[in-house]
Amino acid sequence: MRPVSKKRARLNGVRRKAVAALHGAAPWCARCGRSDAPLDAHEFLRRSQGGDPSRPDVLICRTCHDWIGANPSQAVADGWAKWSWQA
Indicate the domain borders of the chain: 17-86
Mean pLDDT, 10 residues at a time, over the chain (87 residues)?
A: 84 87 88 91 86 86 94 93 80
Q: What is the DSSP string of 35-69?
A: SSS-EEEE-SS-GGGT--TTS--EEEEHHHHHHHH
pLDDT value of residue 87: 61
pLDDT value of residue 67: 96
pTM: 0.76
